[in-house]
Amino acid sequence: MDESVPALIRIHPRDNVLVLTRTARAGETVRFEGRAITLEAELPLGHKLAAEPIAQGEKVLKYGLPIGTATEDIPFGGHVHVHNLKSDYLPTFTHEAGHRFAEES
Amino acid sequence: MEPFQAYPRGDGSKGIRNVVAVAYVIECARHVAQKIVGRFDEREVHLFGWSGCYPNEHGAQIMERLCTHPNVGAVLLVSLGCEGFNRHVLKERIAASGRPVELLVIQQAGGTAATIQQGAAIVEELRERIASLPRVPMEMGELIVGTICGGSDATSGITANPAMGTAFDLLIADGGIGIFEETGELIGCEHIMRERAANPQLGAELVKAVQKARRFYETLGHGSFAPGNAEGGLTTQEEKSLGAYAKSGDSPIVGILKPGVRPERNGLYLMDMIPDGEVRFGFPNINDTAEIVELIACGAHLILFSTGRGSVVGSVIAPVIKVCANPETYERMAGDMDVNAGRILRGESTVQDVGREIYGLMHRVASEEPSCSEALGHQEAVILYKTFEALGPACFPA
């Protein structure tokens, strides 16, 4: 693995998640802005790690925009995925009876 | 950026290419039209047409918009003779746009061989007529550019799409017009999109457009909006949609277009390509080419196309600039790719730098440098049966 290539990028300055630019092995240490993150499990390109501690109930921002809400406290470097991030959209999207597009008249 | 040389049209528009279009108005005339086109340089003479025999108002409008596109200098229409398409109205409207236009009806011209011979002579004459057109300066701010993604993967939303969004912001800052589309891939970010609308009425229309897409695809049983797709690290529907939405950049949204409607004021538009009314005629976006042709019918001079897996398509009439999101795909298919946005993943470049590179390339392609797909001779085209209602005033805020 070429260690000179950054393994993580922050897409938008407002983002509180980082995106893996390549597959990272279990036990591998990747760095972002000098801080080390050691991965517990192998994660492929495109997966997200917390850029800062994210509290339960806080919005997760990618592309500078909310992609959902954290369902538990996530530490710096923690894997952010279906186990701790919930869509703000899908509950209303999937239940036709309660479905309402915001402020639709 | 410096102005470039463009082709002035009788209707006041300016083109970045000077194409003779050979347009068939029924599939039965396609072979003859194709044989005529085959006798000429593929960059100068382009082929497209309407396949069906049953008339369709939308199809007729798209044909008219393509035949009177700024990049088209002259048109030869090829008809079998008994089809439902109204070739006379189309010919009149092309003539009214100031373009030379000729019509050949195969049943009257003496069949296949005779029509090919006559058609080739006509195209030769049309080429000569438009070759001597004086050129005029054109600014980047006079361009209309469409954006699309196809063959996407996990990298598309990270590299190519945001870089194209940056290029769009540069275009709009210079006074140009940008058009993004595919409301079906905006499901989940309509509330974010609404906040970028020029006013609340337009915002409500943007939300309605995405809601219409959801209904349409649900009826057709389309599977791409199924929740829980965690491939490539995507967690939520809005995350997936935002990756596609990133193509639109950060500029305010000033209006909604339907395919074939030309924007009048500058700024960023959403093209709503989902038909109105009850679901009929099948999928509204059967392939990337159908979407590209609809953007071109809105007047797009050129198209920005992001791909992760590696699409190769180009288009008739308007050059397609291919922005490759995935560095591994770029290495395999470099000959098809104009921009390697995958460099962002390798830390060799930033989204902003690649966006500026795309904008610079748009200028060069507008100045007649061929894009990769153009140089390779790609000229895909398809026009679908659809039904649209007229746009209301809320879609064009003052």
**How far is residue B3's CA from residue B16's CA, in Å, rounded to a whole number?**
12
Domain of B110 in residue numbering reads as 4-136
Interface test with B, best of A67, A83, A95, A99 (most B CBs within 10 A): A67
| Dihedral of alpha carbons B370, B376, B377, B380, sign | negative
Interface of A with B (CB under 8 A): 4-6, 9, 11, 19-22, 43-48, 62-63, 65-68, 80-82, 85-90, 93-94, 101-105
The more confidently predicted of residues B51 and B309 is B51
Give the position of tokens 């703000």. Answer: A88
Partner residue facing A48 (CB), from B228, B233, B351: B233
Provide the domain count of chain B. 2
- Distance between B336 CA and the closest CA of chain A, angstroms: 23
Partner residue facing A68 (CB), from B232, B238, B351: B238
Is B233's CB within 8 Å of A45's CB? Answer: yes
Max distance between CA atoms of chain A, in angstroms, equals 54
My answer on whether B321 and B307 are in the same domain is yes
pLDDT grade, residue B347 (50/70/90)?
A: confident
My answer on whether B266 and B348 are in the same domain is yes
Span B70-78, average pLDDT:
98
pLDDT beyond 50 at B166? yes
Is B154's CB within 8 Å of A46's CB? Answer: yes
My answer on whether B189 and B326 are in the same domain is yes
| Top-confidence range, A6-10, B70-74, B283-287 | B70-74
Q: What is the pLDDT of residue B110?
A: 97
**How far is residue B206's CA from residue B221's CA, in Å, rounded to a whole number?**
23
Domain end among B136, B169, B189? B136
Question: Which CATH number is A8-94 given?
Answer: 2.30.130.110
CATH of residue B70: 3.40.50.12090
Partner residue facing A46 (CB), from B227, B232, B351: B232
Span B24-43, average pLDDT:
97
Span B97-104, average pLDDT:
97
Domain end among B120, B136, B152? B136
The more confidently predicted of residues B184 and B110 is B110
Classified as helix, coil or strand, A65 is strand
My answer on whether B203 and B241 are in the same domain is yes
Domain end among B136, B154, B177? B136
ipTM: 0.82
Chain B hits for A101, Cβ within 8 Å: 190-191, 207, 210-211
pLDDT digits (tens, 9 = 90+) for B293-308: 999 999 999 999 999 8
**Burial class for A90, CB neighbours closer than 10 Å (0-12, 13-18, 19+):** middle
Average confidence score pLDDT of chain B: 92
The more confidently predicted of residues B229 and B15 is B15
Domain spans, chain A:
8-94
Is A93's CB within 8 Å of B187's CB? Answer: yes
SS (H, E, C) chain B: CCCEEEEECCCCCEECCCEEEEEECCHHHHHHHHHHHCCCCCCCEEEEECCCCCCCHHHHHHHHHHHCCCCEEEEEEEECCCCCCCHHHHHHHHHHCCCCEEEEEHHHHCCHHHHHHHHHHHHHHHHHHHHCCCCEEECHHHCEEEEEECCCCCCCCCCHHHHHHHHHHHHHHCCCEEEECCHHHHCCCHHHHHHCECCHHHHHHHHHHHHHHHHHHHHHCCCCCCCCCCHHHCCCHHHHHHHHHHHHCCCCEEEEECCCCCCCCCEEEEECCCCCCCCCCCCCCCCHHHHHHHHHHCCCCEEEEEECCCCCCCCCCCCEEEEECCHHHHHHHHHHCCEEHHHHCCCCCCHHHHHHHHHHHHHHHHCCCCCHHHHCCCCCCCCCCCCCCCCCHHHCCC
Q: Which residue of B has its CA nearest to A22?
A: B345
The more confidently predicted of residues A23 and A70 is A70
pLDDT digits (tens, 9 = 90+) for B304-346: 999 988 899 999 999 999 999 989 899 999 999 999 999 998 8
Q: What is the pLDDT of residue A4?
A: 58
pLDDT beyond 90 at B398? no
Is B236's CB within 8 Å of A20's CB? Answer: no
Q: What is the pLDDT of residue B283?
A: 84
Q: Which residues pair with B269 in a beta bridge?
A: B179, B255
My answer on whether B171 and B261 are in the same domain is yes
My answer on whether B121 and B253 are in the same domain is no
My answer on whether B80 and B219 are in the same domain is no
Is A21's CB within 8 Å of B154's CB? Answer: no
My answer on whether B48 and B185 are in the same domain is no
- Distance between B158 CA and the closest CA of chain A, angstroms: 7
pLDDT grade, residue A89 (50/70/90)?
A: low
